Chain A
């Protein structure tokens, strides 16, 4: 378990290093996820070793967003002043983004005769 935690932090640090060196507009952790994925493909025993810690982290994924979400309280004034354009924009745009993604993915799958 200790080694797995160190390993996850190691991939995060590797991601941060590469992103900073190359000046990419992506967070280091996302890049770290890509490197970890490659490592899982290359090293056979890695998945089994990592699973216990990974499962705990992913089971409580939503909890990890609570402190960032509480930050909403700092923007009460602007949200109160522009609540209508902000809320309409977010709701409609989220629905459109999901619907378009589903329609396009489904359409291309049909064109290519692929089934999930």
Chain B
């Protein structure tokens, strides 16, 4: 009987449906907690869901590769969802045309600061060169950040993790920053959080409202492009400081 139980668990553990269901239930639990907390940023469903799933994986001694056999089905939807970001942008096309020049200036300034400050602060506090390089594209969406990091000699999987942490931090901090800076414009709000915290920031922006989400999605795409071209130019200069 015991042996049969063990075999059954082993089958379930290697069944993608298990981890797909765990991911969905963990997210549902995260949503429930977020609602119960009165929508406090620290209870953002993404972070709760990640913590719940990691705890379950550790408790059941399941490795990430096994988990991802199920997780990949959700991960796959990131592609079409990114394409779908065109819709809220399209709905904002008139506002976008009006604000094009200020937003472009914000992009160049904010995108540069995101790279420069991340590398310099980490370096000043004694981070290794690989970590500094892996941090440089931390503000842009995972697929772009990983290709930039590889190109510059960083550690791609570490960059992916740092990007996710940055996204959670940006999603948590955006509302206090808007309040502190008395920023009322949905366009500027969305653009700043999408620039600093990519898709996770964008999910937080959509929780504020659809207009803020639209500009956040735009900033995510534009800063991905900007960083892909700017990081290879800026990074060598920054690393020289610590030689």
Residues of A near any B CB (own CB < 8 A): 5, 8-9, 11-12, 15, 25-30, 32-34, 36-37, 40-41, 47, 50-51, 53-54, 57-59, 61-75, 78-79, 82, 84-106, 108-109, 112, 114, 116
Contacts and interface: CB of A to CB of B under 8 A. Distances in A.
A66 B185 CA distance: 30
B87 A32 contact: no
A26 B195 CA distance: 15
Interface stretch (B6-14, B35-43, B160-168, B233-241): B160-168
Contacts of A66: 23, 26-27, 46, 49-50, 53, 71, 74
Given A74-B64, A99-B177, A116-B185, A68 B142 contact: yes
A98 B142 CA distance: 19
Nearest to B144: A27
A29 B84 CA distance: 9
A101 B107 contact: yes
Contacts, number: 315
B90 A25 contact: no
Nearest to B105: A108
A77 B226 CA distance: 31
Nearest to B118: A93
A25 B144 contact: yes
Nearest to A39: B86
B122 A85 contact: yes
A78 B164 contact: no
B75 A8 contact: no
B173 interface: yes
A100 B64 contact: no
11 contacts: A25-B229, A26-B225, A65-B164, A67-B75, A73-B57, A79-B161, A86-B165, A96-B113, A97-B111, A100-B106, A108-B106
Contacts of A68: 75, 78, 142, 160, 164
Interface in B88-139: 88-91, 93, 95, 98-99, 101-103, 105-107, 109-111, 113-114, 117-119, 121-128, 131, 135, 138-139
